[in-house]
Amino acid sequence: MNGKEVIAKLKAAGWSVNRIHGSHQIMTKGGQAVPVPVHGSRDIGAGLISALQRQTGVKLK
């Protein structure tokens, strides 16, 4: 799963892109911010996917 797919799932769950800092898009919802790396079509590691799921409460896989 790459960064673009993660961002699409987060947007569907109500998160929005607040800003872009380099290759990371900062997603926000209700005062909480989570950085998502976007490195082209390169997949995000399993550990980072798990951390994003924990921080956002969104099932990504």
Chain CA centroid to CA 18, Å? 12
- Condensed to tens digits (0 to 9), the pLDDT of residues 19-61 reads 999 999 999 999 999 999 999 999 999 999 999 999 999 999 8
5 φ/ψ angles, rounded to the nearest 5 degrees: -70, -40
Q: What CA–CA distance (Å, rounded) separates 53 from 61?
A: 9
> What is the pTM assigned to this prediction?
0.92
User: What is the tally of helices (H) and strands (E) in the chain?
Assistant: 2, 3
Which structural domains are found in the chain, ordered by start?
3-56 (3.30.920.30)
pLDDT confidence of residue 59:
96
Pull the structure tokens for residue 55.
């921080």
